[in-house]
């Protein structure tokens, strides 16, 4: 048990609770009945508040840390390994109950030391035992701890305290055991097929990320309501060469005009999923099927990376070349003659272009001498820069663009 680490997590919350309890009790007006009677209800209320805070934090830390002797430090938490290369190291309910009891024993005094009851003197002894029981939807803690309350030469001795917290601890623990049983049946990788069904069965959210692919370390979290369990699993991903994923070569795909093409990417391996880096399509992650629709897609060549990843974190990729030809739907620019003018002259010309689809047409130029009208395609500018200038005009529609070039010679 790492007491220093537990203290870091609990001390702030528990001290704050103790301070709030003291403030509440100091601020309450003293009645005549309180002046003549020796009432310990305020002390019991303060103890209940401290037990509630200690139980909540201890329960969460127990599930985050786990019970394993081997652990991985994630952030500031030492997260236990529950499964290592086929060996189950999972928790038991008795182990969890014992761990939560120890955490309560460590943290509860931090809060109790801050209790101040007006007119009362508290002598708080050491905790003799803190027994925790996980119910279906509740967690019970029974603490045996001698506390003597003194007031006006009288004293009352307290020694037994019970607190009941609503928390799905038993359900969460059952979900963990269900996951580990499923993991034992598929020891070589993440049981992707069963995770979703397991989540529905126990009403939990299961997530994971690959912490160290080279060593096969994966960090899991299972959440039930506000209670979260975390643990580590280590797979033996690289012990056998045949566990590597291999993605088959992908042929070039050529599409002419508006058409839809289907292609299925194939990879060998266990639990393979597929992904791509293209905005042209979304590959089916499970089947590897690609649906390529060239409608309203610009002509040209695209180089797309397809990746296959198996259940062990191995991956392979191939480059997919897609060629789309919409030449029949591209704009057409009439030939533009070359021009010779003198410096300071007004240069005027209207570019003639046709657009076969009837959708839209935009014209542009690459010259710093003028700006062509994007819609009316007119050029009108006084040219003050002498020299021979090579100028390209482009016409664009939804299917791509075409270009025409000409020379403008400006004499001194």
**pLDDT one digit per residue (tens) for the chain, 412 residues:** 443 444 344 444 444 444 444 444 444 444 433 333 467 888 888 888 998 888 888 988 998 888 777 889 988 889 999 989 888 887 888 888 999 999 999 989 888 888 888 888 888 899 999 999 988 788 899 999 999 988 888 899 988 889 898 888 888 888 999 999 888 888 878 887 788 888 888 889 999 888 888 788 999 999 988 889 999 999 877 654 455 788 999 999 999 988 999 999 999 988 899 999 988 999 999 999 999 998 888 888 999 999 999 887 788 889 999 999 988 889 999 999 999 999 999 999 999 999 998 889 999 999 999 999 988 899 999 999 999 999 999 999 988 899 999 999 999 8
Predicted confidence at residue 68, as pLDDT, reads 75
Mapped onto helix, strand or coil, the DSSP state of residue 383 is coil
**Distance between first and last Cα of the chain:** 90
Claim to verify: residue 143 and residue 185 sit in the same structural domain? yes
Claim to verify: residue 184 and residue 258 sit in the same structural domain? no
Of 234, 264, 288, which residue is a domain's last?
234
Range of the domain at 182: 3-30+37-234
Claim to verify: residue 217 and residue 263 sit in the same structural domain? no
Of 204, 234, 264, which residue is a domain's last?
234
Claim to verify: residue 42 and residue 187 sit in the same structural domain? yes
Of 210, 234, 258, which residue is a domain's last?
234
**CA separation for the pair 41, 22 (Å, rounded):** 14
Claim to verify: residue 130 and residue 259 sit in the same structural domain? no
Residue carrying the six token digits 């007004």: 346
Claim to verify: residue 321 and residue 335 sit in the same structural domain? no
Structural domains counted in the chain: 3
Claim to verify: residue 224 and residue 338 sit in the same structural domain? no
The C-alpha angle 238, 199, 67, rounded to 5 degrees, equals 65
Predicted confidence at residue 85, as pLDDT, reads 85
Claim to verify: residue 8 and residue 26 sit in the same structural domain? yes
**CA separation for the pair 285, 197 (Å, rounded):** 19
**CA separation for the pair 354, 149 (Å, rounded):** 97
**CA separation for the pair 267, 274 (Å, rounded):** 9
Q: Please give the C-alpha separations between residue 8 and each of 107, 113, 399, in angstroms, as whole numbers.
A: 10, 17, 62
Predicted confidence at residue 216, as pLDDT, reads 85
Claim to verify: residue 138 and residue 287 sit in the same structural domain? no
Claim to verify: residue 278 and residue 145 sit in the same structural domain? no
Q: Please give the C-alpha separations between residue 36 and each of 24, 33, 46, 108, 195, in angstroms, as whole numbers.
A: 21, 5, 21, 31, 63
| DSSP characters over 282-296 | ---TTT-EEEEE-TT
Claim to verify: residue 103 and residue 169 sit in the same structural domain? yes
Across the beta sheet with 253-256, the strand order is: 253-256, 315-325, 300-309, 273-276
CB atoms within 10 A of CB 145: 20
Claim to verify: residue 154 and residue 284 sit in the same structural domain? no
Element housing 205 (H / E): strand 205-212
Spatial contact of 79 and 65, defined as CB atoms under 8 Å apart: yes
Predicted confidence at residue 239, as pLDDT, reads 56
CATH, residue 394: 2.60.40.10
DSSP 237: T
Q: What pTM, to 2 d.p., does this model score? A: 0.49
């Amino acid at each position: 048990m790492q007491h220093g680490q537990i203290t870091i997590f609990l001390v702030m919350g528990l001290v704050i609770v103790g301070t709030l309890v003291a403030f509440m009790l100091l601020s309450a007006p003293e009645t005549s009945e309180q002046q003549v009677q020796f009432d310990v209800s305020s002390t019991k209320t303060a103890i209940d508040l401290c037990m509630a805070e200690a139980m909540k934090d201890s329960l969460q830390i127990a599930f985050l840390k786990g019970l394993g002797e081997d652990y991985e430090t994630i952030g500031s938490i030492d997260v236990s390994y529950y499964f290592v290369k086929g060996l189950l190291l999972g928790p038991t309910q008795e182990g969890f109950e014992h761990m939560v009891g120890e955490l309560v024993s460590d943290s509860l005094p931090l809060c109790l030391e801050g209790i101040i009851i007006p007119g009362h003197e508290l002598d708080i002894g050491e905790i003799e035992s803190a027994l925790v029981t996980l119910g279906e939807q509740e967690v019970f803690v029974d603490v045996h701890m001698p506390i003597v309350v003194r007031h006006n030469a009288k004293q009352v001795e307290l020694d037994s305290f019970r607190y009941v917290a609503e928390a799905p601890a038993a359900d969460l623990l059952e979900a963990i055991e269900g996951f580990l049983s499923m993991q034992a049946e598929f020891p070589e990788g993440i049981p992707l097929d069963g995770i979703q069904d397991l989540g529905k069965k126990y009403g939990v959210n299961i997530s994971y990320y690959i912490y160290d692919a080279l060593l096969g370390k994966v960090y899991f979290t299972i959440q039930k309501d506000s209670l979260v369990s975390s643990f580590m699993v280590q797979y033996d991903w690289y012990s056998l060469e045949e566990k590597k994923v291999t993605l088959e070569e992908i042929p070039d795909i050529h599409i002419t005009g508006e058409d839809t093409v289907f292609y299925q990417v194939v990879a060998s391996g266990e639990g393979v999923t597929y992904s791509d880096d293209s905005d042209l399509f979304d590959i089916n992650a499970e089947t590897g099927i690609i649906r390529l629709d060239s409608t309203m897609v610009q002509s040209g060549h695209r180089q797309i990376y397809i990746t296959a990843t198996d259940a062990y974190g191995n991956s392979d990729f191939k480059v997919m070349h897609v060629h789309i030809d919409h030449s029949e739907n591209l704009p057409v620019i009439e030939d533009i003659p070359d021009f010779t003018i003198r410096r300071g002259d007004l240069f005027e010309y209207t570019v003639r272009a046709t657009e076969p689809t009837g959708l839209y047409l935009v014209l542009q130029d690459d010259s710093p001498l003028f700006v062509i009208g994007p819609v009316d395609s007119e050029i009108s500018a006084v040219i003050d820069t002498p020299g021979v200038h090579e100028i390209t005009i482009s016409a664009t529609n939804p299917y791509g663009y075409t270009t025409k070039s000409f020379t403008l010679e400006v004499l001194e």
